[in-house]
Amino acid sequence: MTNPRSEPTDAYIPADYPRDAPERLERLRGLAWLLDNAIPLPGGFRVGIDALIGLIPGLGDALGALFSAYVINEARYLGAPRRLLARMMINVLIETVIGAIPVAGDLFDAAFKANARNVALLERHHGEPTRSTRGDGLFVVSFFLLLLAIVAAVIAVPILIVVGLVNLF
């Protein structure tokens, strides 16, 4: 006899759970792979386009955070509870804030792989889905506003530093 969780079908998804959940999870797996692991490097290490776009000062980290926010929004749609959403948000905040540090942050970003971590968390939750509430949606919107403020700061700080240096000369 096979384990029902090893062969996901609609029969194992509760009635109030999104019917397109398996397809959404598959798309998120692909996006996480593209963002975190798509490019092989010598020595067997892999990076994704998130690490490459992160090399663009300010803007790259902001774009990476927006891609990561999409993953979190999909998790909310798939019924992830607040506790799981909070763990995912912390992963994104860590990657965004530390990733903004020139050079060292880019190396951290390539190794931390927040999107792959978040999709793995979501897949673990998918085996035991719970219903999302309206409060979960407000929680995610609040996070997006916080993330937007952090992204604005990540973009503004390098610009202010350059402007300050130009004004010195």
pTM of the entire predicted model: 0.68
pLDDT at 88 over 90: yes
The continuous run of DSSP H or E covering 39 comes out as: strand 39-40
Evaluate the CA torsion angle 156, 158, 161, 165 in order and state its sign.
negative
Q: Residue 156 and residue 168: Cα distance in Å, rounded?
A: 18
pLDDT at 6 over 90: no
Question: In this predicted structure, what is the pLDDT of residue 101?
Answer: 83
Question: In this predicted structure, what is the pLDDT of residue 112?
Answer: 93
Task: Read off the tokens for 113.
Answer: 């792989």
The confidence band for 130, taking pLDDT boundaries of 50, 70 and 90, is: low
Among 80-89, 110-119, 142-151, the minimum mean pLDDT is found in 142-151
The size of the chain, in residues, is: 169
Q: Residue 133 and residue 145: Cα distance in Å, rounded?
A: 19
